[in-house]
Amino acid sequence: MRLVLLGPPGAGKGTQAQVLREKLGIPHISTGDMFREAVLQGTPLGKEAQKYMESGQLVPDEVTIGIVRERLSQPDAVGFLLDGFPRTVPQAESLDEFLAASGRPLVAVLSIQVPGQVLVGRLTGRRVCSQCGANYHILNKPPHQAGKCDLCGGDLVQRADDTEETVLKRLEVYEQQTAALVGYYQQRGLVREVNGNQEPQKVLADIGLALGRDWG
Ligand code: AMP
């Protein structure tokens, strides 16, 4: 199965991807996670990406396309779940070209939609485990013990780009540069619309229906 998860920041792409990769047995490829890891490791890629991420801007296409092509060239990427990529039309075109050349076109694009005012609350309240990456929310999904991960006991932190100012910038960048991709993939007959403004379990069930899988 070769899928793209499309939707604004805070739509729940990462949350769904965590479950989908298990259910579908395909790697979850998140450019945001790849950039965050590079920042953590202090690599040249991380240093380059950090300036853009901190201000809510997109990392330049040539850098992003390069890391995705490299990842998709690995042997486990026969099927995949792309999360946060593509984010611009040139990225989508480059992806099409790359996948066509290797004879493995996309099967579907899951477009997860959530109203803008809900997204701001979701993102500014989000907390992430600094050790295992599990997601929480101060109101919607608080941990059992304040500031600690239920799964591994790690410290919960706020992502540097989840502050209100940067969140508003990220949503603006989404509207300007990424929202057009829904139309791009609609023209190619790939879009499956999913209502992301409901409980994660319900979103997952709707994704199952959209993919013709009955996983409850
Ligand atoms: P995410 O975790 O998907 O919200 O991504 C966090 C940040 O990483 C974004 O705000 C961008 O700065 C950068 N980023 C992630 N994916 C891409 C992409 N496909 N193109 C450009 N920048 C990206």
Find out whether the beta carbon of 31 lies less than 6 Å from any atom of ligand 1. Answer: yes
Segment 147-156 mean pLDDT: 97
Q: What is the CA radius of gyration of the chain?
A: 17
Domain contains 137? yes
Residue 134 located in a structural domain: yes
Domain presence at residue 197: yes
Domain that holds residue 111: 2-210
- Assigned domain for 127 exists: yes
Query: Is there a domain that residue 216 lies in?
Result: no
Residue closest by Cα to atom 6 of ligand 1:
32
- Is 87 among the residues known to form the active site? yes
Digit-coded pLDDT (tens) for 128-137? 999 998 889 9
**Interval 85-126: pLDDT, tens:** 999 999 999 999 999 999 999 999 999 999 998 999 999 999
Taking the C-alpha atoms of residue 180 and residue 170, their distance in angstroms, rounded to an integer, is: 15
pLDDT tens digits, 26-81: 999 999 999 999 999 999 999 999 999 999 999 999 999 999 999 999 999 999 99
**Tell me, what's the pLDDT at 98?**
96
Is any atom of ligand 1 closer than 6 Å to the C-beta of 184?
Answer: no
CA distance 18 to 210: 18
Query: What average pLDDT is seen over the chain?
Result: 95
In a domain, 25, yes or no: yes
The answer, yes or no, to whether any atom of ligand 1 lies below 6 A from the CB of 7, is: no
Say whether 152 sits in a helix, a strand or coil. coil
C-beta contacts of 151-158 below 8 A and 24+ residues apart: 154/129, 154/130, 155/129, 155/130, 155/131, 156/127, 156/128, 156/129, 156/130, 157/127, 157/128, 157/129, 157/130, 158/126, 158/127, 158/128
The CB of 174 under 6 Å from ligand 1? The reply is no
Over 80: is that where the pLDDT of 216 sits?
no
Asked if 202 is an active-site residue, the reply is no
170 in active site: yes
pLDDT of residue 51: 94
**Residue 194: pLDDT band with limits 50, 70, 90:** very high
The number of folded domains in the chain is: 1
Q: What is the pLDDT of residue 138?
A: 95
Per the domain annotation, does 215 fall within a domain? no
Q: Would residue 56 count as lying in a domain?
A: yes
| Residue 171 CA from chain centroid, whole number | 14
CATH number for position 175:
3.40.50.300
pLDDT of residue 214: 80
Catalytic residue among 36, 122, 126, 192: 126
